[in-house]
């Protein structure tokens, strides 16, 4: 993806082009297609292009109009033709020009009109207001820091570490990270925040506010007469979602895991390309595997897909056991978020070598399928709808069907449905027993408070339970998108067909019984893609997952981890109780108990990351 950045100063001050060029230095290696900067008075913006589709070459940099508005844009507007018709403008306009025209037409309501993958900064000279916005799914990152009247923003965190003293560690982020709670707009650095997906932020001179431009929780329902109509609609939207992200203009690499989501994307791309050309060039794919992990044996499945499509992809063996449990060396690579160690750079180098040095600018990812398409076989959302609507006969009938499939007493299903509905409409909370026992009381209170104040997924009366549940699943996806955790050596543009806005709007509106049926998870997807996706993939009972590798790595490296925790920086700062953490490590490392291995790994990751970033991070 391209990189946007900028500065807004206080009234009376000005931004120079040299300041903008300096701001571009940390990220110039990730956008090889040039640099454009523009400054006017107290506002300046920069653009580092990274061309990934044909229309991206229309972008020349920040664009100003005669009213004093200025826009920098990173992304792709999929509905640019429709926008041009509504605006009665030339269809050959760049997306940035379309955004300027849209703002002139609709004001701040323009953001809801943009369908695609994007992030932008827009300065309104008339209002003297800066807008920062991200698309509905947050497929582009965008961070900002407002300090002493100077507001700085950028696509990447790298831009905030130019000639500044070490940043203070944000304890709210630490609390959420250690408890595996959503971090939302928080970053590890106090004062630096992320623009939330589906929102725009408004920065006036003495105020900051935010508003949603897309709704993830609604009561809108798509009703058809037959299954066939739902299947045809899903197929058409999924085909469009893949086509939008599989355009000429830059080399594309598709992830192929052998699961239903990535396989469906690759097979749909093949279907589209073959419908246009009898001898098309099919997508290149990359598949990761670990033969030592019994629960992650994906090789038979992705090789089956390769055989059916007639093209072998890259196979890269990777294992959690490759971890080093030593801090990374910042001289070899910069990593601004936890989850790295001294072997991270070597893993990046090995993957690049396995890909033969090819520069793939785009990666197609299947993230989102489990959450949106019924990958988790639970009946409570659908049954909750019947309960709230007072459809008791339908509730009893469906509960009986699920009871027979799951071999669960019907009274238990009804009780769980009622409990789930109450939970959905109650204030969110993180039970104290769900937090790792080694978290300090200060962090526990911070995590509990942030959870209570989280309004994004709080159920609203009048909204059906399945919609509330789907919105919670949606925001859980927003925490896991791989582009949010960029590498140091290369940063390709990630594309997520299953998060396409038109497709998501449809999936959030169809009756739950279309998505998931008793004994038949992912019902709509399986029915719709028969004939496109191999039957062996559609009929898989479950997807592979990793557990043996992480546990084995912790057990094999017990001594190293214990040494690491002995001089822990986060313990010295009073953020964790080291005696309790080491007790959990003892139980896990000796193979006696695995209950806390995931939170323990987070504590280890945070410790490693802090030690590798002591030159830019202040931990008190």
Report pLDDT for 357: 78
Binding residues for L-glutamine: 95
Confidence band of 548 (pLDDT split at 50, 70, 90)? low
Confidence band of 374 (pLDDT split at 50, 70, 90)? confident
Report pLDDT for 377: 78
Of 292 and 122, which is predicted with more confidence? 122
Report pLDDT for 322: 80
pLDDT, average across residues 91-101: 93
Report pLDDT for 543: 60
Which range, 198-202, 318-322, 584-588, is most confident? 198-202
pLDDT, average across residues 248-259: 94
pLDDT tens digits, one per residue of 555-575: 888 888 888 888 899 999 999
Give 345's DSSP letter.
H
pLDDT tens digits, one per residue of 497-519: 999 999 999 999 999 999 989 88
Q: Does the pLDDT at position 592 exceed 70? A: no
pLDDT tens digits, one per residue of 415-461: 999 999 988 888 777 888 889 999 999 999 999 999 988 888 776 77
- Least confident interval from 190-199, 445-454, 494-503, 581-590: 581-590
Confidence band of 617 (pLDDT split at 50, 70, 90)? confident
Report pLDDT for 320: 78
pLDDT tens digits, one per residue of 36-81: 999 999 999 999 999 999 999 999 999 999 999 999 999 999 999 9
Q: Which domains does the chain have, with CATH numbers?
A: 3-164 (3.60.20.10), 227-372+478-538 (3.40.50.620), 548-618 (no CATH)
Q: Could you write out the DSSP letters of every residue in 197-258? A: TTEEEEE-SS-EEEEESS-SS-------SSHHHHHHHHHHHHHHHHHHHS-SSS-EEEE--S
Report pLDDT for 546: 55
Confidence band of 347 (pLDDT split at 50, 70, 90)? very high
Q: How far apart are CA 58 and CA 201, in angstroms?
A: 27
Q: How far apart are CA 384 and CA 398, in angstroms?
A: 11
Report pLDDT for 587: 84
Report percent pLDDT > 70 for the chain: 97
Report pLDDT for 294: 64
Report pLDDT for 92: 84
CB-based burial, 594-619: b 16+ in 10 Å, e otherwise: eebbebbbbbbbbbbbbbbbeebbeb
Which range, 88-92, 320-324, 330-334, is most confident? 330-334
pLDDT, average across residues 143-147: 95
Query: Shortest CA distance to 203 belongs to which of 6, 2, 450, 27?
Result: 6
Mean pLDDT of the chain: 92
Q: How far apart are CA 163 and CA 140, in angstroms?
A: 26
Which range, 160-164, 306-310, 368-372, 458-462, is most confident? 306-310
Report pLDDT for 567: 84
Report pLDDT for 597: 86
Q: Does the pLDDT at position 265 exceed 90? A: yes
Task: Name the strand (E) or helix (H) holding 398.
Answer: helix 392-406
Give 186's DSSP letter.
B
pLDDT, average across residues 148-155: 95
Report pLDDT for 609: 95
Binding residues: 95
């Amino acid at each position: 993806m391209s990189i946007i950045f900028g500065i807004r100063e206080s009234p009376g001050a000005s931004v120079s082009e040299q300041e903008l060029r300096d701001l571009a230095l940390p990220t110039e290696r990730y956008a090889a297609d040039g640099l454009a900067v523009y400054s006017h008075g107290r506002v300046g913006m920069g653009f580092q292009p990274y061309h990934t589709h044909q229309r991206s070459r229309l972008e020349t940099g920040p664009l100003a109009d005669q009213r004093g508005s200025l826009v920098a844009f990173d992304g792709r507007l999929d509905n640019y033709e429709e926008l041009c018709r509504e605006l009665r403008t030339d269809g050959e306009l760049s997306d940035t020009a379309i955004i300027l025209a849209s703002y002139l037409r609709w004001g701040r309501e323009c953001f809801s009109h943009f369908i695609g993958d994007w992030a932008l900064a827009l300065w309104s000279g008339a209002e003297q207001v800066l807008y920062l916005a991200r698309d509905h799914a947050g497929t582009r990152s965008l961070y900002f820091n407002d300090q002493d009247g100077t507001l700085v923003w950028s696509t990447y965190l790298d831009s905030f570490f130019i000639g500044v003293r070490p940043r203070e560690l944000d304890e709210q982020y630490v609390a959420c990270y250690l408890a595996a709670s959503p971090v939302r707009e928080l970053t590890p650095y106090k004062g630096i925040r992320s623009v939330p997906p589906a929102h725009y932020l408004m920065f006036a001179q003495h105020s900051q506010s935010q508003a949603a431009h897309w709704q993830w929780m609604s009561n809108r329902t798509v009703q058809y007469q037959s299954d066939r109509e739902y299947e045809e609609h899903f197929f058409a939207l999924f085909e469009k979602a893949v086509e939008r992200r599989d355009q000429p203009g830059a080399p594309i690499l598709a992830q192929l895991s052998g699961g239903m989501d990535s396989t469906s994307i690759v097979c749909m791309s093949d279907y589209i390309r073959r419908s246009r050309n009898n001898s098309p060039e099919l997508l290149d794919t990359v598949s990761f595997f670990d033969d030592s992990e019994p629960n992650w044996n994906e090789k038979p499945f992705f090789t089956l897909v390769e055989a059916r499509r007639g093209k072998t992809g890259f196979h890269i063996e990777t294992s959690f056991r490759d971890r080093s449990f030593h801090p990374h060396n910042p001289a070899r690579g910069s990593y601004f978020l936890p989850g790295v160690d001294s072997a991270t750079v070597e893993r990046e180098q090995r993957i690049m070598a396995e890909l033969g040095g090819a520069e793939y600018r785009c990666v197609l990812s299947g993230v989102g399928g489990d959450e949106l398409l019924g990958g988790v076989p639970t009946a409570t959302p659908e049954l909750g709808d019947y309960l709230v609507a007072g459809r008791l006969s339908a509730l009893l009938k469906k509960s009986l069907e699920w009871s027979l499939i799951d071999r669960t007493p019907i009274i238990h299903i009804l009780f769980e449905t009622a409990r789930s509905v109450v939970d959905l409409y109650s204030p969110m909370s993180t039970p104290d027993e769900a937090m790792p026992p080694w978290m300090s009381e200060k962090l526990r209170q911070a995590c509990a408070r942030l959870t209570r104040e989280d309004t994004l997924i709080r159920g609203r009366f009048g909204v059906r339970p399945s919609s509330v549940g789907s919105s919670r699943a949606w925001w859980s996806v927003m925490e896991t998108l791989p582009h949010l955790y960029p590498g140091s050596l290369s940063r390709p543009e990630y594309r997520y067909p299953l998060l396409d806005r038109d497709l998501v709007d449809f999936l959030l509106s169809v009756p739950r019984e279309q998505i998931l049926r008793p004994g038949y998870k992912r019902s709509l997807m399986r029915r719709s893609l028969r004939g496109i996706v191999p039957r062996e993939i559609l009929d898989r009972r479950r997807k592979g997952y990793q557990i043996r590798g992480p546990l084995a790595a912790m057990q094999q490296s017990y001594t190293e981890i214990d040494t690491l925790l002995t001089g822990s920086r986060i313990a010295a700062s009073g953020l964790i109780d080291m005696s309790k953490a080491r007790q959990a490590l003892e139980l896990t490392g000796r193979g006696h108990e695995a209950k806390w291995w995931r939170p323990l790994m987070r504590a280890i990751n945070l410790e490693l990351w802090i030690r590798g970033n002591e030159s830019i991070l202040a931990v008190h």
